[in-house]
Homo-oligomer: A and B are copies of this chain.
Amino acid sequence: MDMSLKVSWGDVAEAHERIRAHARRTPVLDSATVNALTGARVFFKCENFQRMGAFKFRGAYNALSRLSPQAQERGVVAFSSGNHAQAVALAGRMLGIPRVIVMPQDAPRVKLEATRGYGAQVVTYGPGENREETARRIAGERGLSVIPPFNHPHIVAGQGTAAKELLEETGPLDVLLVPCGGGGLLTGCAVAAKHLAPGIQVIGVEPQAGDDATRSFWTKTLQSVKAPQTIADGARTESMGDVTFPLMLQYVDEMMTASDADLLKTMFFLWERMKFICEPTGALGAAALLQRRLEPARIAGKRVGVVISGGNVDLAWAATQLRSG
């Protein structure tokens, strides 16, 4: 694996200039209850209020805007059943770029429709097929650029703008908690945070069932998990990539995990007390804080940032969880 670092602070700053007028500058919220519970001063960067409901728009818009005019004219292809699909679909519409999204046949109808609603062409694949291969085949046939969900410098730099905005608003923080799937958001935010607040501790949080990044971090060797079963559907990636893994080793101070039960508890706590909807994946960073994965003594009196990554959750499913919980 090429272990060079492919994203710098300059890349995040440049991404911010590109997306500033198009992405939403999401609010930073706090809560007296959370401060009292933790003994810290906690700031939530709410990417659930981002366009299409998740931070993914930042990276997608940045990556698409960096394509050459010729590549933009030919179009792009992305493979995702989740927020990345909608992010590429929406960013491409805003930039006038044709886009194909490869999604599983059995993706929730609401996600298929949302992606089509943004004017993207949806190509589905069956259980026997590999989505990345399907996407690369289509890209080859039609001359399209593949927009990967996390392992690309322009994607990572775009996601880092979330932490840039947070720290510009709060000033220096002592700790930053960021959800981790493939590591695009985590490493982008880490690059930005270490530049703006060199003393900050950046902690990535991933689902217990999909702890590949955590094991990769501690072993310093890229690990993977086959098809992790977790309600954090935005963090079901099997492993990091050659862009995000070296960045994690360089800029992230610690990794921890959260169980599905902790994610549910945290998600509903945030709904009830902070009055915002977040999805299970979006609650990863907050779960480490609120379910005491992070030792209370470590954060007492500290200034803590928490990135809430997204809010695209099926309300009917959530209602079932609430009633059975």
Contact = CB atoms under 8 A, between A and B. Distances in A.
A45 to B, nearest CB: 12
B311 A316 contact: no
Contact of A27 (B27, B274, B319): B27
- The bracket for how many chain A residues form the interface is 20 to 34
A271 interface: yes
Interface stretch (A47-55, A76-84, A242-250): A47-55
Given A27-B27, A49-B29, A272 B315 contact: yes
A125 interface: no
A39 to B, nearest CB: 17
Contact of A29 (B27, B274, B278, B318): B27
A109 interface: no
Contacts of A316: 322-323
B48 A268 contact: no
Interface in A262-316: 268, 271-272, 274-278, 311, 315-316
A275 B322 contact: no
A1 interface: no
A21 interface: no
Contacts of A274: 49
Contacts of A319: 318-319, 322-323
A311 B53 contact: no
Contact of A276 (B277, B320, B322, B323): B277
Contact of A315 (B48, B271, B320): B271
A227 interface: no
A58 to B, nearest CB: 16
A257 to B, nearest CB: 25
A174 to B, nearest CB: 23
A120 B47 CA distance: 36
A275 B276 contact: yes
Nearest to A274: B49
Contacts of A311: 275
Contact of A277 (B29, B271, B320): B271
A51 B32 CA distance: 8
Contacts of A53: 275
A57 to B, nearest CB: 11
A61 to B, nearest CB: 14
A32 B49 CA distance: 11
B49 A268 contact: no
B49 A275 contact: yes
Interface of A: 27, 29, 32, 48-49, 51, 53, 268, 271-272, 274-278, 311, 315-316, 318-320, 322-323
17 contacts: A49-B274, A49-B275, A49-B276, A272-B277, A272-B315, A275-B276, A275-B278, A275-B311, A276-B276, A276-B277, A315-B322, A316-B322, A316-B323, A318-B319, A319-B319, A320-B323, A323-B323
Given A271-B315, A275-B276, A275-B311, 8 more contacts: A48-B275, A271-B277, A272-B315, A276-B276, A277-B277, A316-B323, A319-B323, A323-B323
